[in-house]
Amino acid sequence: MTTPTDLVVVLPGILGSTLRHRDSLVWAPSAGSALRAIRTFGRNIRVLQLPDGLGDEHPDDDVEPVSLMPDVHVLPGIWTPIKGYDRLLARLRSIGYRETRDDPGAPPGNLLPIPYDWRLSNRYNGQRLARIIEPALQRWREQGGAYADAKVSFVCHSMGGLVARWYIEHCGGAETTHKLITIGTPYRGSAKALEQLVNGARKGIGRLSVDLTDLVRSMPSMYQLLPEYACIEQPSGLAKTTEISLPELATGNVANGARFHALLTEAESRRPASLTDTHAIVGIHQPTATTANLTGSGIELRNTYGDDDLYGDATVPIVAASRPDIPMNSPLLRRVPDQHGNLQRNKAVLDEIHGILTASPITVRAPHTTALRVDTPDLILTGEALPVSVAIAGNDPQPIRITVTAENRRIIASRIVRPRDSTLTTTSIEGLPPGAYSIDLTGLTPTSTIAPVSSDILVWDPIKEI
């Protein structure tokens, strides 16, 4: 294995950074409880909502990012449940990367996890990266020798890839960037963000105790997650978000989000190295909202693109998971059959990152794997059954174990299903108390060819005030 010489910067996705307001954490795991984190966030909702017309600025509201989320994190109606980044950081440490430290007397580090305020514009957060990365890179280079010309390699999950791309293309980062590794990054946006902005952050199940609609609509980052591709069904065909009027949304905010993507595309097209330096890891085979239909009451999402169901990672559709100049069948894409919130912890993904960073001759994944197609909700109410649907994405029927695990790592339910073909087989799990749960689908034996898929769900009590 080669000795790492790059400075590796890790950027989480939306919701993936803890936030502090003055002396109090307002978004962070609390004793491993997603519900406690939501309570804390809900009590501070007025502090966290952003002013109108903020654009690419900081609101000077004394809210600052602190660290990367280690545990499962979810806010009902904002993006999707995500597992933490502890496993990703552990893999990077295992191949020789060590965190930088603020202590001037400490040895320089080459692993730099950067939290950011995910409410704010990706442009602002991209500009902020320069103030953090450049001093750390300079200190790393001052060791001399093989490190004198060290560059930066980015490992980014979800929206973190958009932040890094803006820094690279518009904030001077291209000169010192060696590699950009993205995991489930919505290069062209996501229909899920469209639904959440238009319909409001209530997940379509009535008014939750914490209504985050006004907060979501105040976040510049959410508009930069809107689909850049044509996704709105119209009689004449699919239309872009800027070509029609979207209910509840200011046209200026929508146009600003589209402009963000256009400026990235223009800059990357002028710099050929941006393509050769980019390694996009994408999730596949999972039912994923791709287009939308306007109704009298808002937006209805559809998993199809025209007549085709192209799938994705259950959050980012495959049509949006890479740059516009990269075809969906391009060999430049690394494809892993898992869901968005678990990609950064998936073993095949970690092996890909390991290989990209070190060029080690490791086995990235088994010669043959059997992919699963899994459909689960993000949120259910207490008393409702949890439906888990699974199909084999191919012609290799095998039994599948479904395991439901609570945040304290206690197994709540385990059962075996036997899907026979590409048709979804659904089983229901009853009696889950309020909390966050991991749903893991695996083969029955260590030698099984099944590629594991993992998703997360929040069980919400609508009676109990949060």
For the whole prediction, is pTM greater than 0.85?
Answer: yes
Q: Give the chain's length.
A: 466
Strands 411-417 and 400-406 turn out to be antiparallel
DSSP 246: P
Residue 31 has what pLDDT?
53
Give yes or no for a contact between 45 and 210, defined as CB atoms under 8 angstroms apart.
yes
Give yes or no for a contact between 360 and 350, defined as CB atoms under 8 angstroms apart.
no
Report the C-alpha gap between 403 and 425 in whole angstroms: 16
Please name the amino acid found at residue 288. T
User: Domains (ranges, CATH) in the chain?
Assistant: 7-188+250-286+313-358 (3.40.50.1820), 372-460 (2.60.40.10)
Residue 211 has what pLDDT?
78
Q: What is 218-261 written as a DSSP string?
A: H-HHHHTTS-SS--EEETTEEE-GGGSPPTTS-HHHHHHHHHHH
Residue 423 has what pLDDT?
84
Give yes or no for a contact between 308 and 283, defined as CB atoms under 8 angstroms apart.
no
What HEC string does 181-225 produce?
EEECCCCCCCHHHHHHHHHCCCCCCCCCCCCCHHHHHHCHHHHCC
Quick one: 357 exposed, middle or buried, by C-beta within 10 A (0-12, 13-18, 19+)?
buried
Tokens of 140: 């790393």
Residue 225 has what pLDDT?
98
Residue 364 has what pLDDT?
54
Digits of tens for pLDDT over the chain (466 positions)? 566 899 999 999 999 999 999 999 999 976 568 888 888 888 888 899 999 999 999 999 999 999 999 888 898 888 999 999 999 999 999 999 999 776 666 678 999 999 999 999 999 999 999 999 999 999 999 999 989 999 999 999 999 999 999 999 999 999 999 999 999 999 999 999 999 999 987 544 545 566 789 999 999 999 999 999 999 999 999 999 999 999 999 999 999 999 999 999 999 999 999 999 999 999 999 999 999 999 987 899 999 998 899 999 999 999 999 999 999 999 999 999 999 999 999 999 999 999 999 875 555 554 578 999 999 999 999 999 999 999 998 777 889 999 999 998 999 999 999 987 778 899 999 999 999 999 999 999 888 899 999 999 999 887 764 4
Give yes or no for a contact between 443 and 417, defined as CB atoms under 8 angstroms apart.
no
Report the C-alpha gap between 139 and 137 in whole angstroms: 5
Residue 30 has what pLDDT?
63
Quick one: angle between helices 251-269 and 160-170, nearest 10? Answer: 60
Give yes or no for a contact between 116 and 65, defined as CB atoms under 8 angstroms apart.
yes
What are the b/e assignments for 116-152, b being 16+ CB within 10 Å?
bbbbbbbbbbbbbbeeebeebbebbbeeeeebeebbb
Residue 204 has what pLDDT?
47
Report the C-alpha gap between 64 and 115 in whole angstroms: 9
The SS3 call for residue 163 is helix
